[in-house]
Structure 1
Amino acid sequence: MDKFKIIDKGNVCTPKGFRASGVNGGIKKNNTTKKDVALIVSDKPSRAAGTYTLNRYAAAPVTVTKEYIKDGILQAVVVNSGNANACTGEKGYLDAKQMAAITAQNLNLKEQDVAVASTGVIGVNLDMEVMGKAIIKAASSLSYEGGHDAAEAIMTTDTCSKEIAIEVDINGTPVKIGGMAKGSGMIHPNMATMLCFVTTDAFIDQKLMHTALKEIIDDTFNMVTVDGDTSTNDMAVVLANGMAGNKEIRDIDDNYKKFYDGLYYVLEALSIMIAKDGEGASKLFTVNVLNCTTKKDAKKIAKSVIQSSLVKTAIFGEDANWGRIIAAVGYSEAQFDETKVDIYLKSGSMSIKVAENGAGLVFDEVMAKEILSKRQVEAVIDMKDGTNSATAWGCDLTYDYVKINADYRS
């Protein structure tokens, strides 16, 4: 925490030279009030990096953004919620390009410098007449105070916006990193997850920034699951406009490490916000795997447990069913000594050991239930077989998850 300062009510407009907006454009079905189109714009061209879904049915906006970011430069991002523009064929691809073109025309930018993202219902074509008017409205609403509006405009089933900003000292120069994300359901990342947009006024080499993003994504967004479904629209994009005025970060040195740690904090915080706001969730569930032989195996185990429907329902039911946890450890395909595994359940300062050396213990069921009744619950799995660890974030599986997704298109 002493490495950087968390900025109160910070967002994507906290770094120098970024404006944003979020407006109601009529994209969402039967919606006349909720914001559904967002813009983020830098005052100057920015170095850019991105990661994207590995779903074979990647949405049209993902395809277009991957094409436009190839030169490592972007200046704006246009996003709509309410319609994923996924599985929409050639028309969907042309519509995504048109979103970029309309944005560029209204902001006097190059079309290729505009990233495009969408989220919502799959398989429905955009109404480009409505979309065009919405983008014009968003462009006319841009402001250096518009970050929160933008964060609200990208929400679908999210119950709250997800945004954060920090300040890092880079060789005596204050550098800011701001981020926003959306994600509540269809969360099981295979690159990033959901939608995430990060802005920074850091002056940093584009390739170094891309390397940092990919590495951090693996330990943050790729360690989140809500329901085991990988979206067609997942995207995480970082824009760095260099307006902080720091000396360019060009090498893997102390300044790079400070930027890396700051970006890590932002993405980890957004990851936790997504897990906490999982569709229908009543609890944030964290799995910490300790003392594993390899980092790869630690991640396998953490993700296996966090995505287990049986574990998730046990957490919801406040049932200390450690057998479900150890079963998920067992089928994770990680290599470990099954006679060494200890399991603890924790919440805040409360902790109880429920399994030791791969076998159950007699434990206080009342205390265990009290721990599981808390809003934030943690399972600690000590492999006692190495020095590597991993953390995964998720939530419980509730009745409300089914209700939300049973009528999602309604």
Structure 2
Amino acid sequence: MRSNFKGPHRLSRNRPEWQRISGGVAAARGFLASGVAAEIKKQGLDLAVVFSSRPSVACGVFTTNLVKAAPVLLSKKHLSRARGRIRAVLLNSGCANACTGRRGMAGAVRSARCLASHLGIDPYQVVVASTGVIGIALPIQKLLKGIPAAVAALSPDGWEAAARAIMTTDTREKTCAVEGRIGDRPVRIGGMAKGAGMIHPQMATMLSVITTDAAIPRPVLESVFRRVVERTFNCLTVDGDTSTNDMVLLIANGASDAKVEGAGSAYFEQGLEIVCEEMAKMVARDGEGATKFVEVLVDGASSVDQGRRVAKAIAHSPLVKTALYGQELNWGRIVAAAGCSGVRFNPDRVVLRLCGIPVFRNGMAVSSTQRRAEEALAAHDLQIHLDLAQGRASARIWTCDLSHGYIDINGSYIT
């Protein structure tokens, strides 16, 4: 069933609103997806393929971690060598293929060549992505054996299986798709993502593949994509750690004949932002052990960069996150975290609100609201709103609380 997005996603009265549709990463015309069990993990689906049945262009953003996994290095090379003409993505869960030396790179190359052979395309038109434990050799024979099954299963209906196949500690699939109109042509954008821990992207996030049937030149695609990534996936943190495997890819195949140019590029950017924001929030909601979804909003900043620095300092604080988990009104931790951000502000002028309720103003507690604020912390969705009273810029970060569950998961991740 379709439902209209509300609020900030309305561009103008002359443009139809983007509508939610099903189909995830295969919602856009000309895209197929699949997810199969290749026994890379002990159980469940663990190998996914996304394929454009017609020529396409792509751009990607990758981890800024100096330690990069073999699939990241290979995919960057293929994007460059193919000049963006990527047709297929091969993704596996259960093994990150990171810190695995020449053997790991050789496995990534073999897997790309194998998929290309079965699809009848050039190996440079394949990018690969992996997620799982670092330092474990890629079980290449299992992966190669699973590729024919994954190709045979490719279908417009394979999007849910593909989304499940890339999950690790995720508790649910993360997909989103929308449809709008450019001129008289319907256009679709859809995607899938995975991620629950080791989430502090400096570029994109976790693993994510986004597809569209819009006809858009690669330079325009890339500039729009990078702006949207900066406003969505780069506003996400779970635990402050940046993975060796982070990758997000956007592929456009033009199957709708909807040409993105002029004012249409702003409209397309809006639709892309809806999809990316939705999936980024899904990751925060599904953070390892999370019981709360938290939006940290900082306004009144002198610049967006300074607002983001303050918001990240709050979102990264273990003391803040554990207090939210315990539903404890320890607002002093929030103010203290902001004060450690490196951004100068006057504490006597700031106003702190929790779920819309002022709790700190004029350099001291708002005593009359403490009980209401304590009760508000019982909700699943929380907002921390800090007004720095310095300027007009604002920034937001999405995160989650820090519970015993996070320690349980990461204290025995390998075993």
Do the structures match in fold with TM over 0.5?
Answer: yes
Matched, 1:290 2:295: no
Structure 2 counterpart of 1:375: 380
CA deviation vs aligned residue, 1:132-179 (integer Å, no higher than 9, x gap)? 011111111111111111011000000000000001221221110001
Matched, 1:98 2:110: yes
Is contact 1:48–1:239 with CA below 8 Å preserved after alignment? yes
Is contact 1:200–1:240 with CA below 8 Å preserved after alignment? yes
Structure 1 counterpart of 2:396: 391
Of 221, 226, 245, which aligns to 1:214? 226
- Measured in 1, the distance between the counterparts of 2:28 and 2:112 equals 23
Letter in 1 for 2:89: V
Q: CA deviation at 1:217?
A: 1.3
Q: CA deviation at 1:10?
A: 3.3
- Measured in 2, the distance between the counterparts of 1:335 and 1:172 equals 51
Is contact 1:187–1:229 with CA below 8 Å preserved after alignment? yes
Letter in 1 for 2:112: A
Equivalence map 1:306-321=2 (5 Å): 306-321=315-330
Matched, 1:26 2:35: no
- Measured in 2, the distance between the counterparts of 1:389 and 1:357 equals 20
Unaligned runs of 5+ in 2: 11-15
CA RMSD of aligned residues (A): 1.2
Equivalence map 1:83-122=2 (5 Å): 83-122=95-134
Equivalence map 1:39-118=2 (5 Å): 39-70=49-80, 71-118=83-130
Matched, 1:402 2:407: yes
Structure 2 counterpart of 1:13: 26
Letter in 2 for 1:274: V
- 1:73 is paired with a residue whose SS is coil
Is contact 2:23–2:157 with CA below 8 Å preserved after alignment? no
Q: CA deviation at 1:212?
A: 1.4
Q: CA deviation at 1:358?
A: 3.5
Structure 2 counterpart of 1:333: 342
Letter in 2 for 1:27: I
How many residues align? The count is 400
Q: Mean Cα displacement is larger for which, 329-338 or 194-203?
A: 329-338
- Measured in 2, the distance between the counterparts of 1:271 and 1:385 equals 29
- 1:87 is paired with a residue whose SS is coil
Q: CA deviation at 1:222?
A: 1.1
Q: CA deviation at 1:271?
A: 0.5
- Measured in 1, the distance between the counterparts of 2:245 and 2:236 equals 16
Q: CA deviation at 1:5?
A: 3.0
- Measured in 1, the distance between the counterparts of 2:23 and 2:297 equals 28
- 1:41 is paired with a residue whose SS is strand
Is contact 1:23–1:153 with CA below 8 Å preserved after alignment? yes
- Measured in 1, the distance between the counterparts of 2:157 and 2:18 equals 20
- Measured in 1, the distance between the counterparts of 2:414 and 2:403 equals 20
Of 122, 126, 151, which aligns to 2:138? 126
CA deviation vs aligned residue, 1:304-334 (integer Å, no higher than 9, x gap)? 1111111000100111111111111111112
Q: CA deviation at 1:45?
A: 2.0
Q: CA deviation at 1:263?
A: 0.7
Q: CA deviation at 1:99?
A: 1.1
- Measured in 1, the distance between the counterparts of 2:346 and 2:225 equals 33
Q: CA deviation at 1:128?
A: 1.2
Identity of aligned residues (%): 42
Letter in 1 for 2:76: K
Letter in 2 for 1:45: P
Structure 1 counterpart of 2:207: 195
- Measured in 2, the distance between the counterparts of 1:331 and 1:187 equals 21
Is contact 1:10–1:166 with CA below 8 Å preserved after alignment? no
Of 277, 281, 303, which aligns to 2:286? 277
Unaligned runs of 5+ in 1: none
Is contact 2:359–2:370 with CA below 8 Å preserved after alignment? no
Matched, 1:352 2:357: yes
Letter in 1 for 2:407: V
Of 160, 165, 168, which aligns to 1:153? 165
CA deviation vs aligned residue, 1:74-117 (integer Å, no higher than 9, x gap)? 00000000000000011111111111111001111110000100
- Measured in 2, the distance between the counterparts of 1:129 and 1:10 equals 31
Is contact 2:285–2:292 with CA below 8 Å preserved after alignment? yes
Is contact 2:235–2:397 with CA below 8 Å preserved after alignment? yes
- 2:169 is paired with a residue whose SS is coil
Structure 1 counterpart of 2:13: none
- Measured in 2, the distance between the counterparts of 1:6 and 1:261 equals 12
Residues 366 and 357 from structure 1, CA distance in 2 versus in 1: closer, same or farther, beyond 3 angstroms?
A: closer
**Which contiguous aligned blocks of 4+ residues in structure 1 show a shift greater than 6 angstroms?**
none
Of 171, 180, 190, which aligns to 1:168? 180
- 1:169 is paired with a residue whose SS is strand
Q: CA deviation at 1:14?
A: 0.7
Is contact 2:175–2:279 with CA below 8 Å preserved after alignment? yes
